[in-house]
Structure 1
Amino acid sequence: MSRVKKVKKLSKDKGLTASLIIIAGLFLIAIFAPWLAPHDPNVGILSNRLLPPSSEHWLGTDHMGRDLFSRIIYGTRTTMVVALIITAGCFMIGTIVGVTAGYAGGWVDSLLMRIVDLLFAFPSRILALVVVGIIGPGLVNLGIAMILSWWVSFARVIRGVTLTVKENEYVLAAKLYGQPKWKIIRKHILPNVMPQLLVIVALNISWIMVALAGFSLLGLGVEAPQAEWGMMISEARPYMRDNGYLLLFPGLAIMIVVSAFTILGEKLRDVYDPSHLKV
């Protein structure tokens, strides 16, 4: 099936449409959080602690008497912004290293790929934990640690795509005409690598969100009282037996957003990555 036909087929795909609607809705929630949240997410009333869902508190209140619905709305902003920043950092480093290694070849490729292989030998989450242990916990430090441990998966795939693209006739023709390397990369390599980059970004952002929630669950990410879904689950653990909704709603939020980005990445991969390269 040609790429054009696949794109037309995707335009009618209900799963892709639903994922795009969810992602767009999440961005709108993140942007308009101050207007959508009925209560201050960081201010609680102890007399209202652990209230079940009601007309006043749609999703109930937590152990500090804070409105759970408001905290999930503000948690959308925290999770989305931090995940996008981490993904952008991985995207930039991975693209620079991958394109440079794939296009330059020779000792440059060997050196950069040995560094990538060395880092790739360690599980990304374990490597991030090591970096956080060195530089200390906190949201900024966690973001730096995740970027330093996640970019290698971008670089490996981008290098492979670059090796294929640089053998195309138009790239060889540009070399014969004596165009500078930087110009060939900008005009001929990057535009053809970009579709695969979008697939990598869509797939990785969901994994990064899960990892971010996991680190916050361990107390290594967002610090209280800031609202973040992983932190909310961590705070709810002592009360989960009698107040299961404290875990249910932030858990559902994580599941929905991760599913939406995963579906988007899978559908884009069907169009732009027929070989189904793994990140």
Structure 2
Amino acid sequence: MSARFIGLAILTVVLVFAFGLPWVSTADPVAQSLILALEPPSAEALFGYDHLGRSMSARLAAALRLSLMIAAITLITTAFIGVALGALASWRGGWLDRALVLFADSVVALPALLIVLIAGLILPTQPMAFWAGLSATLWVEIFRLTRATIRAQIAAPSVEAARLLGFGPLYIFRTHLWPELAPVLRATFALTFAAVVMGIAALGFVSVGVRAPTPELGLMMVELLPYWREAPWALLQPVLTTMATLLALTLIAGGTTE
């Protein structure tokens, strides 16, 4: 059984739980019932309740949906920016190539946390700040891989022949360059997705991410940490959920290079 298959299986379970639970449960992730505070898992509530009597299953599913949707939108944005700028730099070369490489190096020099915090001051919602801040930093690796791969292929006989026949850059990219580029980027896309999930959880853990009562994996860890003696099972749930998601994406990324 390959690592990629195991990763896909774990990710499928995570996705089914995150997006399927609202169809089978009516529990509100923010509804409080202090009489149920820290009630352990039971037949009626398989994941139990947190310190405010909120359904842990509903909160975990909502937190996963938030992280996965932000990660998906961020990945689409970073992939578009990185591939477009990388292709432009390698195709044009010269001063434009040097300018884009210098710009990418400048972005890497800035702390990602600082960019996310600045985006949070400008944009009206924290999810938008996550998307803008993380997209502004994570495109660089995709840019570098795209630039290096296309530079190696740009002088290939098939590309030269297409140029001489008068085909445009878009046709050449779609027909000759993208088939060589896509396998290189698959692992990077999975790792970028994992980096966004981990970044959102890390920012929530240091209390600069999503604000309560919105469910978020890192924020849930912070909220439940004072109760680890009374209800260790509650604290372990967001930790294990985050670990399972990251493990699945890492296995998928590793499997694409086999």
**Does TM-score exceed 0.5, indicating one fold?**
yes
CA distance in 1, matches of 2:26, 2:67: 20
**C-alpha distance 16-180 of structure 1, shift in aligned 2 (>3 A):** closer
Residue of 108, 113, 123 corresponding to 2:96: 108
Q: Secondary structure at the match of 1:112?
A: helix
Cα gap change, 1:248/1:263 in structure 2, threshold over 3 Å: closer, same or farther? same
Amino acid at match of 2:142: F
1:20 counterpart residue number: 8
Aligned residue for 1:50? 38
1:253, distance to aligned residue in structure 2 (A): 0.3
Question: CA contact under 8 A between 2:116 and 2:129: conserved in structure 1?
Answer: no
- Deviation, 1:43, is 1.0
Is 1:255 matched with 2:243? yes
Please point out which of 197, 205, 210 is paired with 1:209.
Answer: 197
Paired position in structure 2 for 1:70: 58
Q: How many residues align?
A: 258
1:21-62: CA deviation from partner (whole Å, max 9, x where unpaired): 111222223332312446222212111111122222222211
Name 1:274's counterpart in structure 2: none
1:97 offset after TM fit, Å?
0.8
Q: Structure 2-normalised TM-score?
A: 0.91
Q: Which residue matches 1:7?
A: none
The runs of at least 4 consecutive aligned structure 1 residues that moved more than 6 Å come to none
Tell me which amino acid in the other structure corresponds to 1:150. L
SS at match of 2:32: coil
Match of 1:88 in 2: 76
Further displaced range: 231-240 or 138-147: 231-240
Distance 1:59 1:25 in 2: 16
Identical amino acids, percent of aligned pairs: 28
Match of 2:223 in 1: 235
Q: Give the structure 2 partner of residue 4 of structure 1.
A: none
Alignment correspondent of 1:3 = none
Matched ranges for 1:112-261 at <5 A: 112-132=100-120, 138-261=126-249
In the aligned structure 2, how far is the partner of 1:231 from the partner of 1:124? 19
Give 1:243 deviation, angstroms: 2.2
Q: Give the 3-state SS of the residue equivalent to 1:23 in structure 2.
A: helix
Work out whether residues 16 and 267 of structure 1, in 8 Å CA contact, stay in contact via their aligned partners in 2: yes
Aligned mates of 2:243, 2:253 — CA distance in 1: 15
Runs of 5+ consecutive residues of structure 2 not aligned to the other structure:
none
Q: Which runs of 5+ in 1 are unaligned?
A: 1-11, 271-279
d(CA) in 2 for partners of 1:170, 1:27: 41
Residue range with higher mean Cα deviation, 90-99 or 227-236: 227-236
* Aligned-pair CA distance for 1:71: 1.4
- Judge conservation of contact 2:112–2:133 (CA < 8 Å) in 1: no
Q: Which amino acid aligns with 1:61?
A: Y
TM-score (norm 1): 0.85
Amino acid at match of 1:151: W
Structure-2 separation of matches of 1:250 and 1:56: 20
